[in-house]
Structure 1
Amino acid sequence: MTTPTPPTRSQVRRWRQYLADERAEAAAYRDLASRRSGEERDILLALAEAERRHEQHWLDLLGDDVGKPLRGDFRTRVLGWLARRFGSVFVLALAQRAEARSSYDDDVDATARMAADERIHEEVVRGLAIRGRNRISGTFRAAVFGANDGLVSNLALVLGIGASGVASGTVLLTGLAGLLAGALSMGAGEYVSVRSQRELLEASRPGPQARAALPHLDVDANELALVYRARGMAPQDAAEHARTVLTSLEELAGRALVLPDLSSDEPAAPSHPGEAAASSEAVDEPDEHETIGTAVGAAVASFCFFASGAAIPVLPYLLGATGWTAVAWSTGLVGVALLGTGAVVGLLSGTSPAKRALRQLAIGWGAAAATYLLGLTFGTTVA
């Protein structure tokens, strides 16, 4: 009988680190679950249980070499700390990135099932994060766009005017005017945009009169099929689906009747007629209105964040800085703010925060440099 080859020190160190990471990730999912309820809580607990199975794999391999428990890597510990204190969509976005970094695909000591689990875990967390992103996307979009527009446009304005050689007081007045005008414009524009989009969505929804008319339709004439055809279904499919809905009325007598989701080109076929009328309730799709946000919320967020962003390049002038000193401070402060907003966008979207931060910085400084050079062209020197 062949004696198993003892693991090398390198293997033991790697296995122990994997064990620590799995324990930390399981704890993070449990902490996230403690701040959730219902289905989301059950899903997060199921992920924690899956990480426990992975943990057992490394315990079996280590045997007597398990040693003193190690700490998870830095990013996993940060994830756990955030999960215990916040439990927000940003934490889920970090968890999504953590699952994407799994090295089990390339590790001979990890099983193919474990590698597959990690890939599926990434998609599960992505699905949970999408719910949170949908809930905040309207206001978040207005906030990010507002802050970046304030930062870039007012920095460009301040540097362009400053480079023309006017007095610092004039630069300050111009910056404050740009702050107020831009914030009012952004707020008003965001309100009109979101309000119009919500009205367009509302106009596309089935009217309440259609629901009330369903019980009185002629099954043989099948007028409901025209609705489905108008929504893009093929004539034969529309007729069959409409007939299924109408013939289910007897079974649904005494129950509240809900018109199916007519915006779908190919609604799922019900397993029995009684499910047809209620099929729209069985599909957990994000509400378009929830994704867009409210017009007032978007307008207020846009106004406030534009103003906060536009105040940053003006701040050195408010504090009495002049000339190149003010220019350097304005550019540096805006650069830090652009890095921050870019990193937040990257984090929330599940992509690299560093790349998004550098992209924001390059765009912002590029626009400001263009106006600064324009001011130098038509002016004399920095005042």
Structure 2
Amino acid sequence: MIAPMEPSGPDWDALAPHWRPGHRSAEDDAAAERELAAMRATAERVAGGGIRAAVLGVNDGLVTNLCLILGVAGAAAEPGTVRLSGLASLVAGALSMAAGEWVSVRGQAEVARGMEQSLHEAWRLSPPVVLGHLTASLRERGLDRETAVRASRGVMTGRAASRAGTRILAGVSAEDAGSPVVAAVSSLLLFAVGALLPLLPWFFAAGDGAVLASVVITALASLVVGGALGRSAGRGAVRTAGRQLLIVALASLVTYGLGRLAGTSVM
């Protein structure tokens, strides 16, 4: 059921000139609720570090191992050498990505907690100074002075005052850093998956056939990753997929060319 419009409600002509109260419908309300729910779900995944780690992991796995495989294969190495090099790269890369993500996210959270502690100490020393900075920051975001003053006082009287205040003043909080475990596990697993794809043909073939199969599999996977990323970000899937494929192609050509020129295993 559509909630009735209050007589003293907002001035919609000024607030949302593209929308007319008389055109409000249950279908539009439901669609708006779905959009907000999808936004919150995406925000939770982003805050948890999963999306960033997943995209980085699978993309780095694809590019890193394809480049290594092409570099080694370009040096006319034996198929067994290519397989061993690819497996070593998969394991080392996955562990390295996981460790890097864990350290990065954990460090970001610790830095944010330090800022929250600084805000808490500043509030203990001089509440008016803190309120002044909060008010100024909120006014920079478009609030009028009276609203910004009331909002600043409300922020600092809440249970999570330091967290909310730090988010307003610095744009971050410890919660925004996400989970280091989620980031590490996502990165490890998806790097391994990405690195395995270009390596698979070398367990069943060798030579130019295996090289071609690695390139085709990686190209298709890159298109899928780029397209999915583009759709989730609200951009054109085709454009993002094409950009992803171009990056992989350039990196692969450079590495394969270096391997051919060197004539030896270069990774």
Question: How big is each residue's C-alpha offset from its partner over 1:201-242, in whole Å with a ceiling of 9 and x where there is no partner?
Answer: 22222579669x88xx9xxxxx311223466849xx8xx959
TM-score by length of 2: 0.72
Report the aligned-residue RMSD. Answer: 4.0
Q: Which residue of 1 aligns with 2:178?
A: 293
1:162 counterpart letter in structure 2 = A
The amino acid across from 2:78 in the alignment is A
Which residue of structure 2 aligns with residue 135 of structure 1?
44
State the partner residue of 2:252: 368
- Select which of 118, 127, 130 maps to 1:227: 130
Q: Could you tell me which of 190, 201, 211 is aligned with 1:327?
A: 211
Q: 2:220 aligns to what? A: 336
SS at match of 1:205: helix
Cα 1:231–1:367 shift into 2, 3 Å: same
Matched, 1:305 2:190: yes
**Counterpart residue type for residue 227 of structure 1:** V
1:25 aligned residue: none
Partners in 2 of 1:149 and 1:293 — Cα distance? 21
SS of the residue corresponding to residue 165 of structure 1 reads coil
CA distance in 1, matches of 2:31, 2:239: 21
Work out whether residues 206 and 262 of structure 1, in 8 Å CA contact, stay in contact via their aligned partners in 2: no
Gaps in structure 2 of 5+ consecutive residues: 3-19, 138-144
Contact 1:340 1:357 in 2 (8 A): yes
Aligned position for 1:171:
82
Q: 1:179, CA displacement in angstroms?
A: 0.7
Gaps (5+ residues) in structure 1?
1-44, 47-110, 218-222, 247-251, 266-285
User: Aligned partners of 1:173 and 1:130: how far apart in 2?
Assistant: 43
1:350 alignment counterpart: 234
1:199 and 1:228 map into 2 onto residues whose CA distance is: 24
Q: Distance in 2 between matches of 1:369 and 1:120?
A: 51
Residues of 1 paired with 2:71 and 2:254: CA distance? 8
- Contact map agreement 2:135 2:149 (CA 8 A) in 1: no
Q: In the aligned structure 2, how far is the partner of 1:357 from the partner of 1:233? A: 42
**Where does 1:1-383 land on structure 2 (aligned, <5 Å)?**
127-137=36-46, 138-205=49-116, 223-229=126-132, 233=136, 241=149, 245=153, 259=161, 261-263=164-166, 264=168, 288-289=173-174, 291-319=176-204, 321-379=205-263
Rounded to whole Å, the distance in 2 between the matches of 1:257 and 1:194 is 25
8 Å CA contact retained: 1:313, 1:334: yes
The alpha carbon displacement at 1:119 in A equals 11
Report how far residue 292 of structure 1 moved. 3.5
SS in 1 for 2:165: coil
| Cα deviation 1:88-133 (Å, max 9, x = unaligned) | xxxxxxxxxxxxxxxxxxxxxxx9x87xxx9999987654433122
How many residue pairs were aligned? 231
1:162 Cα deviation after fit: 0.3
Residues 335 and 361 in structure 1, CA contact (< 8 A), matched pair in contact too: yes
CA distance in 2, matches of 1:245, 1:328: 64
**1:313 Cα shift?**
1.1
Flag the 1:209–1:345 CA change in 2: closer, same or farther, 3 A.
closer
Measured at CA, do residues 187 and 150 of structure 1 come closer, stay the same or move farther in structure 2, by a change above 3 Å? Answer: same
The answer as to whether partners of 1:134 and 1:291 remain within 8 angstroms in 2 is: no
Higher relative helix content: 2
Q: Which runs of 4+ in 1 moved over 6 A?
A: 118-124, 207-211
2:77 partner SS: coil
Alpha-carbon deviation of 1:146? Answer: 0.4
Q: Structure 1 CA distance, aligned partners of 2:153 and 2:256? A: 66
Change (3 A) 1:174 1:259: closer
Normalising by the residue count of structure 1, what TM-score does the alignment of the two structures yield? Answer: 0.51
| CA deviations over 1:311-335 (Å, ceiling 9, x no partner) | 111111122x110000011011111
- Pair 1:258–1:163, CA change in 2 (3 A): closer
What corresponds to 1:52 in structure 2?
none
| Structure 1 Cα separation of the partners of residues 245 and 77 of structure 2 | 27
